[in-house]
Amino acid sequence: MSHCARLALRLPVATTPNMRWMVETGQPRVVPDVSAYPDWVELPGTEWIRSQISAPIRVNGEVIGFLNLDSNVPNRFCDADAEPIQSFANQAAAAIRNADLYDALRQQAEDLERRVEERTAELEQERAQLQTILDTMSEGVIYDEKLSVRYINRALTELTGYRIDEWKGFLEPLRSQSMSSDELQQMVHSLYEGVGSVHKRELRFRRKDGTEFDAHLTCTHVLNSDGDVVGAVTVVRDVSQEKVLERQKAQFVAYASHELRTPITNLKTRLYLMRQQPERMEDHWQILEDVTERMRRLVEDLLDMSRFDRGTISIQRRNVILQPLVRDVVRVQQPEAERKNLTLVCHLPADPLRIFADPERIVQVVTNLVTNAINYTPAGGNVTIDVMPAWDAESGDQSAIIAVEDTGIGIDDMHLPYIFQPFYRVGGTIEGTGLGLSITQQIVELHGGEITVDSVPGQGSTFRVRLPLASVSPMTALSGTGGTFHRP
Ligand code: ADP
């Protein structure tokens, strides 16, 4: 009876001659009787083997192993057995190769899938970043391909009133009434001239609601890999406000230089006259004082403005009572009101309103509002200052309100949104810098308050300043009533 077994052996090819032979020839080898085989190498665990047949397993021309059949009976195998064993070994080799190929393929597919997932995540992140940038930009953005608009951002919809589904043509929806369709076409073509370059243009645009604005366009071409223009990104910025301010600044510079030159000439004339007419010294003094005061005010406003611009304004806050500050302003402005034949009255509450503020700056705020009221109210009118406490039911915050009301010329609705901007002035007749309200608003906001205005042209204006009341500590509360405070 023959005996076969599975052996788990590692046989060194180099020192096992029949294996080496099979590696070199690729042929099967039959050993009918190991005792008659001079090169037989006996290893521990293989002593029982008497007869053997071996076939190399070749994958891609390389021997990767052997198929061995062992028997304890001599001459159990003969040369005729070699062929079927080799063909079995070949089938095993094919199966192993297929399995290897399949493994490699699966590995590749997994790698590919992972890489696609990673890339998809990267792309998604990039897309989200781009979307956030486009959504949070304050400028409008148009992306077109060959002048056909593919995308507009949120800011452009807010700026123009048009959604992407309402967009026709490239810039056609925004064409101003002052421009013909042909002119717009020419402008668009000039924007698209020159490969790969950036073009800038200023243009007047029309919103969906018919209103118009000055726009600044920056058009950047999008090129394909051959360098052909396939589209463009156009950034649209509303520059109307900048233009208004530019104009006002230019006006202001002209005004300020004129304003400074006139008093300087006046000063020189007066100095000359003072020498010529020493007996009229009093008159000259008065004029010198007025002129220098006007120059001082102008220079102070300019300095304040530039300090606000640079953020270097300093306010010295402390606990103060509001009423005496307002009373001071009224005392100083009363003669001016009388000179203009105006009635200036002031209503102050009996209970002191304590604020945590820079008293000089608060005086500046009230002075600006009262002088404006006096300046913009014709003779015979009234200027009324009302100071009162207020309490916000929702937040529980307590504040002081200073309302300056006049029966003057008022301010048209179209100007109201701009009067707090620096250099903005409605009319050109009354002297002023256009800086007063801007400085006033900034001071009020630095104190955590706010300023609002109601106005009816021809009837008058009311400016209201709200300032938070100082939080009252037990110490100040008691000392305010003259009591003594003992710490427990
Ligand atoms: P200005 O130095 O010109 O008074 P302001 O900044 O104080 O500058 O005010 C800006 C503009 O607001 C003024 O030019 C004026 O047209 C308008 N204005 C301000 N206060 C009043 C008011 N009480 N009544 C009417 N118009 C006012």
Measure the CA–CA gap between 426 and 414, rounded to whole angstroms. 10
Distance CA(442)–CA(308), nearest Å, equals 8
What residues have CB less than 8 Å from 379, skipping those under 6 apart?
Answer: 340, 341, 342
153 lines ligand 1 (CB under 6 A): no
d(CA 7, CA 473): 96
Residues 287, 347 within the same domain = no
Indicate if ligand 1 lies below 6 Å from the C-beta of 427. yes
Q: What is each CA distance from 32 to 27, 87, 89, in whole angstroms?
A: 16, 19, 19
Q: Are 361 and 315 in contact (CB under 8 A)?
A: yes
Residue range 273-305, pLDDT digits in tens: 999 988 988 888 888 888 888 788 888 888 887
Q: How far is it, in rounded angstroms, from Cα 314 to Cα 361?
A: 10
Same domain, 328 and 450: yes
CA 153 to chain centre: 14
User: In the prediction, which pLDDT does 107 show?
Assistant: 93
**Is the domain of 343 the same as that of 424?**
yes
Domain C-terminal end among 238, 262, 295:
238
In a domain, 367, yes or no: yes
Q: Which residue, by CA, sits nearest to atom 14 of ligand 1?
A: 425
Cβ-in-10-Å burial (0-12, 13-18, 19+) of 142 comes to buried
Say how many Å lie between the CA of residue 265 and the centre of ligand 1.
27
In ligand 1, which atom is closest to the CA atom of 377?
24
Q: What's the total number of domains in the chain? A: 4
The Å distance, Cα 369 to ligand 1 centre, comes to 9
pTM: 0.50
The pLDDT assigned to 238 comes to: 93
**Distance from Cα 425 to the centre of ligand 1, integer Å:** 6
| Residue 399 domain boundaries | 318-479
Q: Tell me the CA–centroid distance for residue 287 and ligand 1, in Å.
A: 25
Residue 373 CA: nearest ligand 1 atom is 23
Measured in angstroms, how far is the CA atom of residue 245 from the centroid of ligand 1? 16
Q: Do 70 and 199 belong together in one domain? A: no
Task: Establish how many alpha carbons lie within 13 A of residue 384's alpha carbon, considering only the half-sphere containing its beta carbon.
Answer: 10
For ligand 1, atom 11, name the residue with the nearest CA: 425
219 and 259 belong to one structural domain = no
Contact 435, 375 (CB under 8 A): no
Let me know whether 453 and 404 are in one domain.
yes
Indicate if ligand 1 lies below 6 Å from the C-beta of 436. yes
Q: Is residue 375 in some structural domain? A: yes
The b/e string for 171-207 (b: 16+ C-beta within 10 A; e otherwise) is: bebbbeeebeeeebbebbeebbeeeeeebeeebebbe
Report if residue 113 sits inside a domain: no
Q: Are 467 and 389 found together in one domain?
A: yes
- Rounded to the nearest 5°, which phi and psi values hold at 387? -115, 130
What CA–CA distance (Å, rounded) separates 246 from 436? 18
Q: Give the domain CATH number at 205.
A: 3.30.450.20
C-alpha 338 to ligand 1 mean position (Å):
20
pLDDT one digit per residue (tens) for the chain, 488 residues: 444 455 556 667 777 888 888 888 888 989 999 888 888 887 788 889 999 999 999 888 888 888 889 999 999 888 888 899 999 999 988 998 888 888 999 999 999 999 999 999 999 999 999 989 988 999 999 999 988 899 999 999 999 999 999 988 888 889 998 889 898 888 888 877 755 567 888 889 999 999 999 999 998 888 888 888 888 899 999 998 888 778 777 776 776 777 678 778 888 988 999 999 889 888 888 888 888 887 888 888 888 877 776 777 778 999 999 999 999 999 999 999 999 999 999 999 999 999 999 999 999 999 999 999 999 999 999 999 999 999 988 888 899 999 999 999 999 999 999 999 877 888 765 567 788 999 999 999 999 999 999 999 999 999 999 999 997 654 444 333 322 223 33
User: Do 375 and 474 belong to one domain?
Assistant: yes
Does residue 409 line the site of ligand 1, with CB under 6 A?
yes
How many angstroms separate the CA atoms of 156 and 167, rounded? 11
Q: Are residues 212 and 265 in the same domain?
A: no
Task: With respect to residue 112, please indicate whether it lies within any of the assigned structural domains.
Answer: no
The helix (H) or strand (E) run that includes residue 354 is strand 354-357
* Cβ of 460 less than 6 Å from ligand 1: no
Q: Which atom of ligand 1 is found nearest the CA of 424?
A: 10
- Asked if residue 247 is part of any domain, the answer here is no
Ligand 1 pocket check for 467: Cβ under 6 Å: no
Structure tokens that stand for 337 in this block: 């009101």
- Residue 290 shares a structural domain with residue 182: no
Q: How far is the CA of 317 from the centre of ligand 1 (A)?
A: 27
Residues 475 and 333 in one domain: yes
Distance 70 CA to ligand 1 centre (A): 114
**Ligand 1 and 432: CB distance under 6 A:** yes
Centre of ligand 1 to C-alpha 435, Å, is 9
The residue whose CA is least distant from atom 21 of ligand 1 is 372
pLDDT of residue 319: 96
Q: Is the CB of 374 under 6 A from ligand 1?
A: no
CB 451 within 8 Å of CB 463: yes
Cβ of 419 closer than 6 Å to ligand 1, yes or no, is: yes
* Top mutation candidate among 297, 407, 415, 425 for ligand 1, by most atoms within 8 Å of CB: 425
Closest CA to 322 of 350, 289, 282: 350
The encoded tokens of residue 424 equal 């903005």
Residues 259 and 199 in one domain: no
CA distances from 254 to 157, 308, 418, 423 (A): 38, 22, 20, 12
326 lines ligand 1 (CB under 6 A): no
- Determine the atom of ligand 1 nearest the C-alpha atom of 410: 25
